[in-house]
């Protein structure tokens, strides 16, 4: 059951033809890795026409910007998230966050072509980041994101392992974070595994069933991604601090 405030936000985004892709915790729910969240996060295309449509949707939601940065195209294009709080009675206190640029994630045009389209029970359409793109977007420095990546890929594996296609097998080999499952895939799909070892060296441990070394390599992989994310956000955080002081 999709809570009413979320349905209200999604339906108005659709009604105003905002080019937006649902991501974050709400998208995780749709992909079978439940995460409770009072936020609704979107990746959007940052152009003047789309922002005009977004302003109309936010206007109906009685949503006002909170914190910094202000709602401006230049901040979206630099990689900032802009945060809003809804005051509409059907979405009261719901927070809406929008971004157009994320570390390690493709351009919006490519994300849009790969999107997942679903129908809500009331018939409202909803565009989501594809699962691989959602996983990539969650490779952050935040502690909560890494268990969610694990659950997302696990859920996809259990839903599709009976008759997987090559793209699904490649996705599991590239993104599984559960050592036992990664060993299972690597040892049953040896040819695909060997082709990907150069891109993800820890697959060599998975192919040999070396769980202890695999676990260590997975932790090192996570640590590397966290550090990259911290480095990416340093100048953006500095800019936010300047905006807070100026405000």
pLDDT in tens, 171-224: 999 999 999 999 999 999 999 999 999 999 999 999 999 999 999 999 999 999
**Nearest partner of 42 among 62, 66, 58, judged by Cα:** 58
Kindly state the percentage of the chain with pLDDT values over 70: 98
CA 192, CA 169: separation in Å to the nearest integer? 8
- Does pLDDT of 1 surpass 60? no
Domain extents in the chain: 4-137, 145-231
Q: What three-state secondary structure class fits 105?
A: coil
Q: What is the mean pLDDT of residues 228-237?
A: 97
pLDDT at 35: 66
Q: How confident is the model at residue 3 (pLDDT cuts 50, 70, 90)?
A: low
- Does pLDDT of 162 surpass 80? yes
Asked which of 9-18, 35-44, 88-97 is least confident by mean pLDDT, the reply is: 35-44
CATH code that applies to domain 4-137: 3.30.460.40
Asked which of 54-58, 123-127, 167-171, 199-203 is least confident by mean pLDDT, the reply is: 123-127
Do 202 and 217 meet the contact criterion of CB atoms below 8 Å apart?
yes
The two three-digit tokens of residue 6, written as one number? 């979320």
**Nearest partner of 9 among 114, 102, 108, 87, judged by Cα:** 87
The model's pTM: 0.94
CA 228, CA 140: separation in Å to the nearest integer? 8
Q: How confident is the model at residue 116 (pLDDT cuts 50, 70, 90)?
A: very high
CB-based contacts of 132, cutoff 8 Å, min separation 6: 114, 171, 175
Q: How far is CA 187 from CA 172, 190, 195, in A?
A: 13, 6, 13
Residue 144's H or E segment, with its range, is none
Long-range contacts of 90-94 (CB under 8 A, 24+ apart): 90/4, 90/5, 90/8, 91/4, 91/5, 91/6, 91/8, 91/9, 91/61, 92/5, 93/38, 94/5, 94/6, 94/8, 94/9, 94/38, 94/39, 94/40, 94/61
């Amino acid at each position: 059951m999709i809570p009413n405030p979320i349905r209200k936000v999604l339906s108005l985004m659709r009604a105003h033809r905002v080019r937006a892709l649902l991501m974050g915790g709400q998208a995780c729910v749709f992909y079978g890795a439940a995460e409770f969240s009072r936020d609704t996060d979107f990746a959007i295309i940052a152009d003047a026409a789309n922002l005009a449509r977004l302003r109309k949707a936010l206007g109906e939601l009685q949503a006002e910007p909170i914190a910094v940065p202000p709602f401006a195209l230049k901040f979206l294009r630099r990689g900032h998230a802009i945060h809003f709080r809804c005051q509409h009675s059907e979405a009261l206190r719901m927070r809406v966050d929008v971004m157009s640029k994320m570390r390690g994630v493709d351009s919006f045009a490519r994300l849009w072509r790969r999107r997942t389209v679903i129908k809500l029970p009331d018939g409202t359409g909803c565009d989501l980041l594809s699962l691989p793109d959602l996983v990539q977007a969650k490779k952050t420095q935040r502690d909560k994101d890494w268990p969610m990546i694990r659950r997302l890929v696990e859920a996809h594996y259990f839903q599709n392992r009976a008759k997987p296609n090559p793209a699904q097998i490649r996705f599991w080999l590239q993104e599984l974070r559960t050592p036992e499952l990664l060993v299972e895939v690597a040892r049953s799909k040896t040819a695909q595994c060997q082709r990907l070892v150069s891109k993800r060296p820890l697959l060599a441990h998975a192919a040999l069933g070396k769980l202890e070394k695999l676990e260590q390599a997975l932790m090192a992989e996570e640590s590397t991604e966290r550090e990259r994310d911290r480095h990416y956000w340093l100048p953006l955080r500095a800019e936010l601090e300047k905006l807070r002081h100026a405000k």
